[in-house]
Amino acid sequence: MSKEIKELREEKKRLQEEIELKKGWISLLSHDFKEVFGNLLWLIQSLESEFVSKEDFFNLWPRITKDAEKSLQTVNDTSTWLKTQLDKYKPQKTELTAYDLFIALKEGSDEALTEKKIDFTFKGDESLTFSNDSFLILFILKKLVNNAIKFSESGKSVDFEVLRSENDIVISVIDYGLGMGKETQKLLYSFEGPVFQGTNGEVGAGLSLIIVQQFLSLLQGEMEVVSTEHKGTKVTIAFPEITT
């Protein structure tokens, strides 16, 4: 009986966390869309009523564009997340090579790396291979690398470290950029956390690590964030291989 009670409590806790996550997600979507469409409508009406000049209109347009880009990213991330929520998503076994993942990430981030003159470096065994879900792993790593680039100053480097530790694969993405204080780190996995601009004014919805944490849970993985303000951030994920 005690075992059944324990299982019921764990299931209740899981469902409560899931409900809170979905409530936070809906709230975020509602806020973002209300903001971007509200600003756009105000701008158009102000132009029509000549409350703002054409010059002011076009001066404000870049801000509206950034808000729209942020909302589009929120929609894309939500769509990806929903794929894992429907029909009890089960990770699929695929043979992956750490260095191939690094190359894919480098090619996918080429424009941002070039713009900021960032050196993206691989550290570890280039021949290291492991079995896991390519969709989840690549999405997780893209988010971590995008954040590292976003908060790095021009001319800095971002390191991609890989190693095998007993039964786990351990991957770290390290940047030497803005870093975070302890209070900010406490809000990393919360919808209530602040949304920061990158060093070049890049914007985001603040969803990256929330999704990463969710996807890692599907892989029975863990994440650790070590950060020092003005010195940089190291995000490490560890997960077992899929054996069946």
The confidence score (pLDDT) of residue 15 equals 67
What residue type is assigned to position 4 of the chain?
E
3-state SS, residue 63: helix
**Exposure letters 46-66 (e unless 16+ CB within 10 A, then b):** ebeeeebeeeeeeebeeebee
User: pLDDT by residue for the chain (244 residues), tens digit each?
Assistant: 577 777 777 767 666 666 665 655 565 566 566 666 676 777 677 777 777 777 776 777 776 776 667 666 666 766 666 666 665 678 889 999 999 999 999 998 998 899 999 999 999 999 999 999 998 898 889 889 988 999 999 999 999 999 999 889 999 999 999 898 888 888 777 766 666 778 887 765 556 787 788 888 888 999 999 999 999 999 999 999 988 7
How far is CA 105 from each of CA 66, 86, 172, 232, 237, rounded to the nearest angstrom? 24, 27, 14, 20, 16
213 φ, ψ to 5°?
-60, -40
Q: Would you say the C-alpha torsion 76, 81, 87, 92 has a positive or negative sign?
A: positive
Q: How many CB atoms lie within 10 A of CB 142?
A: 17
C-alpha 219/C-alpha 226 separation (Å) is 21
Q: Are strands 157-165 and 119-123 parallel, antiparallel or unpaired?
A: parallel
For residue 179 the two structure tokens come to 């870093």
Asked whether the CA dihedral 46, 47, 50, 55 is positive or negative, the reply is positive
Q: What angle do CA 212, 200, 54 make, to 5 degrees?
A: 115
Residue 224 and residue 188 in contact, taking contact as beta carbons nearer than 8 Å: no
Residue 126, phi then psi, degrees to nearest 5? -65, -20
